[in-house]
Amino acid sequence: MFPNMPDTFAFTHIILPLLIFVARICDVTLGTLRIIFVSKGYKAMAPLLGFFEVLIWVIVISQLLSSFSSWVCYIAYAGGFAMGNFVGMIIEERIAIGTLLVRITTPKDARGLVNMLSEKGFGATLLEGKGAKGRVNIIQSVVSRKSIKDIQQILDDYDPNLFYSIEDVRSVTKGVFPSARNINSRWKVGK
């Protein structure tokens, strides 16, 4: 990585571990995102991220193996791995890729909730069912991950004690979805 750099204490115990830590954050973040893209079926993005993930890993591991005497490098490697997982999850949460199924079950008349969802641009299907305690209404709505907080707010406003579950959906064709928000709105501080 730095062939002409003298083997000094500062380089071996501060600079190199810091570089390993940062590089490991990058490679594990890419790995976390790659796994998510694979699970969502993004066939072009996953291999591209995998290429850079492994390239960074090879560079880092070669530096780590050439620094056997520096235990600080090993701590930096492990710390970068942990932090990379965290950073990858934060980034994935911010870009919110994918589609979800929200399934709402209530013993109450659910037509008002279906209307609330429709007014906000969400598709909603109302089904009747029988639960453990009798007749229930089941509402199903397929939504983008970007709008899940909006749905949860609508459900909370309707009935704070409402039972609902949220599941990942692999693919969707057609449907009713609210108009897309500005891509920059996901990256604002506090969101």
pLDDT tens digits for 120-175?
889 899 999 988 888 999 999 998 888 889 999 999 988 888 999 999 887 666 66
* Lowest pLDDT segment from 51-60, 154-163, 179-188: 179-188
Which run of H or E residues covers position 134? strand 134-144
Specify whether the CB–CB gap between 14 and 26 falls below 8 A: no
The whole-chain average pLDDT of the chain stands at 83
pTM for this prediction:
0.65
Predicted confidence at residue 90, as pLDDT, reads: 92
- Tokens describing residue 78: 């492990």
* Residue 151 CB contacts under 8 Å (≥ 6 apart), including other chains: 102, 117, 122, 141, 143
Phi, psi of 178 (to 5 degrees): -65, 160
68 or 151: which leads in pLDDT = 151
Question: What is the per-residue burial (b if ≥16 Cβ within 10 Å, else e) of 43-52?
Answer: eebbeebbee
